[in-house]
Chains A and B, each alone.
Chain A
Amino acid sequence: MTALTIAGLTLREAMRRRVVWALLALTVVLLALSAWGFSKLVGLDSELGTMTSGEARLVASLLLNLIMFGLSLIAAIGTAFLAGPTLAGEVESGQALAILARPVRRSAVLLGKWLGLIAFGGGYVILAGLAEILVVRVAVGYWPPSPTAGLALLAAQTVVLLTLALLLSSVVSPMASGIIAVGLFGATWVAGVVGGIGGALGNEGVERVGTVSRIILPTDGLWRGAMNAFQDPFALVQMGPGEGGFPFLSEAPLTPAYLAWAAVWIAVIWGLTALSFQRRDV
């Protein structure tokens, strides 16, 4: 009950503070640019000779993944910078005093914040992602193999990042927590790319960098799962084995074990945040 009230409040804050409108404007720009780009792609035949249908699908897969990465980046930055101030900022400003003096459990307040942020961040990724898939469909007629799974994994990636930002914001200052969360998100992605290159070169040591970083922070792992769901199954074959390290193609779908690990990771980080918030003097 408390959690739902707080979740509703968090969503209302996002609406009233015009975060939603800023995101919407940014997304519309990205979608329009991608529609323009994809429609040009169809006209490429005349300059480079005729693209085979397989080539066209490969390029569409790559570009779709690239744009999805852009969307997930927007969502990551948006939620990370929203998650930090929402908890720590309210404690700092004194807004939390009146709320926490009510007959509420702190864990319920935290759960409410978390649910509200998930609904916001996850909802954004799913809606914007779906819009982009439709844009690609209209522009070049490409439809990804499993869009639902892909969008769900993108949303999961957002959940991971905002859970981390919430934990950080209960330890460091609100602004720093947003910066650290986005920084870690970027670092893991780079580590994933490095690992992919290592894999392509057959260097196990370098490959391990990606694997370890994917375990420590599951954003990159989930992102690779999402890419795999969006890309054309034959794209990799088309690219050839030597190009396996390419950052906007994923070699394999996610294993259930990795998904379970991501769930455990979220639960552990959430628990730590609840513990720290419970003990905190406001």
Chain B
Amino acid sequence: MGSADAATVRGVTSDATTASAAAELAALPPSPAVWCSGLRKRYGRRTAVDDVSFSVARGEVLGLLGPNGAGKTSVIKMLLGLVRPDAGEVLLLGRRSTDPRSRVAVGYLPELFRYQPWLTPTEVLDLHVRLSRVDVPRDERRECLALVGLAERSGDRVGGFSKGMQQRLGLAVALVARPELVVLDEPTSALDPIGRVDVRDLVLSLKSRGVAVLLNSHLIGEVERVCDRVVILDQGRVAASGTLAELLGQREVRLRLDGVDDAAEDRLRAAGSTSRSGDWFTVQLTSDDDGVTVPDLVRDLVGRGVRVHAVEPVRISLEERLLGILRHDEPEVAIR
């Protein structure tokens, strides 16, 4: 109690101007979890990463997509100071990545995950907590192991673990030191289907707690389910980026109609550009559609005596979009 009282007294007697400055600082929006600009890296003659810039807001889940060799892991390693960029700047949680303190609240699961085989999972977590200089009580560390399903193996040597269990341990290591940013590089590569679902739930629970996540994954379905935004890398460059809604572009709705007159066609065109094939009409909706366009359209069509047989939303999956972008047979998307 004594020390707490002393701290309060010190707080009260401290200079009023510093207090107001601190309040001003606290009122500022927090710096993004990740901010990088103009990252470039060459390995010999090959350019691995070329002018990559993006940011991850606090509490946001960003998916990093792209084919093998697109430079995703290189970008992640440059963010974490593991690889020196030839050019460009990185800020992690508001600090330059050249300052080790920028990584105090960062958890990382590498693509190539391997932990000291002569230690037990408990000891591996102890080590990482000590290196992070964060005070995490023993119970919390144990909970972290339980979260990834390793509670019963907490006393066994890591050397005897399967790949999947080592990856689970890697997740626990990434989560143990109370991160504000978690970087997961192919977090489900060695996991079974149940493990993949666990990881998805884990990412969603991090998001709900306001922890930013940078997720690199080949599993597009996984990314589509959990990510707020996506950055697509191709040959070391950002091929496209944006929110899922932006990336998936305009949605479409297909209607099978009977008894369409000119007035009804005008009404259809008012909802969006329309194409017709037999009695199927396809209407492209704008991306800022607030969800009332389709019901209103159907109501008006019915009011005009049009018989509505079917109304089908047309979904473009992220996979189709990704393939389109990577095969360059879609117009350049530049949604920033």
Q: What residues make up the interface of A, taking CB atoms closer than 8 Å to B? A: 1-2, 5, 9, 12-13, 16-17, 93-95, 97-105, 279, 281-282
Chain A residues closer than 8 Å to B218, beta-carbon distance:
none
CB within 8 Å for A95 and B115 given contacts A101-B80, A103-B101? yes
User: In whole angstroms, how far apart are the Cα atoms of A16 and B157 in the complex?
Assistant: 10
Q: Taking CB as reference atom, which chain A residue is nearest B101?
A: A103
Our pick among B84, B108, B112 for the contact of A281 (Cβ within 8 Å) is: B84
Chain B residues closer than 8 Å to A100, beta-carbon distance:
81-82
CB within 8 Å for A281 and B82 given contacts A1-B133, A5-B131, A103-B132? yes
Query: Are A104 and B110 in contact, CB atoms less than 8 angstroms apart?
Result: no
A-B contact pairs, 16 of them (CB 8 A): A1-B133, A2-B131, A9-B116, A93-B112, A94-B113, A97-B82, A98-B110, A100-B81, A101-B81, A101-B82, A101-B106, A103-B101, A103-B104, A104-B131, A105-B100, A281-B82
Q: What residues make up the interface of B, taking CB atoms closer than 8 Å to A? A: 77, 80-84, 100-104, 106, 108, 110, 112-116, 118-119, 127-128, 130-133, 170, 173
Instruction: Quote the shortest CB–CB distance from B102 to chain A (angstroms).
Output: 8
Chain A residues closer than 8 Å to B100, beta-carbon distance:
103-105
CB within 8 Å for A99 and B131 given contacts A94-B113, A104-B100? yes
User: In whole angstroms, how far apart are the Cα atoms of A101 and B130 in the complex?
Assistant: 13
Query: Are B82 and A94 in contact, CB atoms less than 8 angstroms apart?
Result: no
A-B Cβ contacts below 8 A, count: 68
CB within 8 Å for A98 and B103 given contacts A103-B132, A279-B84? no
Q: Which 3 A-B pairs have the closest CB atoms?
A: A94-B112, A16-B118, A97-B110
Query: Are B113 and A102 in contact, CB atoms less than 8 angstroms apart?
Result: no
* Contacts A103-B132, A103-B133 known; 4 new A-B pairs at CB < 8 A: A97-B82, A98-B170, A103-B103, A282-B77
Instruction: Quote the shortest CB–CB distance from B323 to chain A (angstroms).
Output: 31
Our pick among A16, A98, A105 for the contact of B108 (Cβ within 8 Å) is: A98
Q: Taking CB as reference atom, which chain A residue is nearest B170?
A: A98
Query: Are A282 and B173 in contact, CB atoms less than 8 angstroms apart?
Result: no
User: In whole angstroms, how far apart are the Cα atoms of A278 and B84 in the complex?
Assistant: 10
Q: Taking CB as reference atom, which chain A residue is nearest B113?
A: A94
Chain A residues closer than 8 Å to B114, beta-carbon distance:
93-95
Q: Which of B82, B84, B115, B128 has the most CB of A within 10 A?
A: B82
Instruction: Quote the shortest CB–CB distance from A169 to chain B (angstroms).
Output: 18
Query: Are B132 and A5 in contact, CB atoms less than 8 angstroms apart?
Result: no
Q: Taking CB as reference atom, which chain A residue is nearest B103?
A: A103
Q: Taking CB as reference atom, which chain B residue is nearest A278?
A: B84
Our pick among A9, A16, A102 for the contact of B103 (Cβ within 8 Å) is: A102
Instruction: Quote the shortest CB–CB distance from A5 to chain B (angstroms).
Output: 5
